[in-house]
Structure 1
Amino acid sequence: MSTFPDYYKLLGVSKTATTDEIRQAYKKESLKTHPDRIVNATPAEKKAATERFQAVADAYYVLSDPTRRREYDSLYTSRGPQEKTPDPNASANFFSTFANMFGGRGTGPSATGATPADRPDADNMFADVFEDLLRPEVERHLPWWTWLGAVCGAGLGFIIANIPGLMVGAYAGNRLGAIRDAKGKSVAAVFSDLGGSQKAEILKALAAKVLGAAANSF
């Protein structure tokens, strides 16, 4: 008997969950299952973690889009309870059989990241959520270059034209520094360049924050 992936169980949500509830569930599950959280893992452990992380991404890709979710639900209701499973392997089989039904027809927040007959890119999908989770922290950064530019510009301006030069130089340096501040890499891009132990620590800290907040909300 063929098995059918139960994406609702994979994300830990009810069949009536809203899109926002599905996204919140994906944030939690992707942090819990991300393979980079496992330091010094054996190849088998890494493979199992990667498969589950991919299956969680599959679940979010399907359930976060109204059209894909509706088509999935029509298949879901036609399967008996004994056929449905949260086993990640069932998700791989599902996409190899049914992915063409999703091709080019998604209109929701996760409409990108997959092509007809392909599974979604789990890393790219996680990068979007990762940016969202860390955005409040990143946006608190101090504009070092903006202020350094203002100070340096003011100094040069004062040397050249005293007080008027100081004012013009400070403004010009401030604007140039702001441009430099705005050219930073995305958080996800920086994260991908880190070593394994650094990634693990960041993911564990984020998971503790997100899962802790979720536990406190109940």
Structure 2
Amino acid sequence: MSKRHNAKYKIDRRLGENIWGRPKSPLNARAYGPGQHGQRRKGKTSDYGLQLRAKQKLKGYYGSITEKAFKRLYTEAARVKGDTGERLIGLLESRLDAIVYRAKFVATVFAARQFVSHGHVLVNGKRVTIPSYQVQAGDKIEVRERSRQLAFVLEATQLAEREVPDYIEADHGKMTATFVRVPALSDVPYPVQMEPNLVVEFYSR
């Protein structure tokens, strides 16, 4: 099990935001950072600090992707003409673990990464165990038949704290989902404001 899985709420507290909008976030009870200096008043943040924070928040939201993997996605987004920030969001939302999470087959992005890597997910009928696998529009994702009755999967489909976005068509009866289209930033149901433009500025320095 990933160490990040056990410490996921430290990301919330470090950033000072409930980035997944979960009822169990410690920020619902203590809206300040961790440690003995968590309640200390903070000074004005520099432009670099704002950019770094935006990057950490976006990385953290998707299960704290490694810096190497995240920068690779940015480089791919920057290679295509158009809005690099929008393209980056599209690439992040096209990850297999992100789609498994969005389809409500599991409760958290951390669980989604583990669920995929343990071989519970098929893409177009073939088992895929790479959480970062880039799903294409029109691809069909399904939970393997023998995994469909797992208690945590059944519980996740009933979660009332979030809905399946309209760029994914999910059938929880059959445990299947179709990635309809690559979303724009405005389509993604982030519980907090994400600022991919600041991430672009960070890497453009």
Q: Shared topology, TM-score over 0.5?
A: no
TM value normalised by structure 2: 0.33
Which structure has the greater CA radius of gyration?
1
**Higher RCO (CA 8 Å, separation ≥ 6 residues):** 2
Is the helix fraction higher in 1 or 2?
A: 1
Is the strand fraction higher in 1 or 2?
A: 2
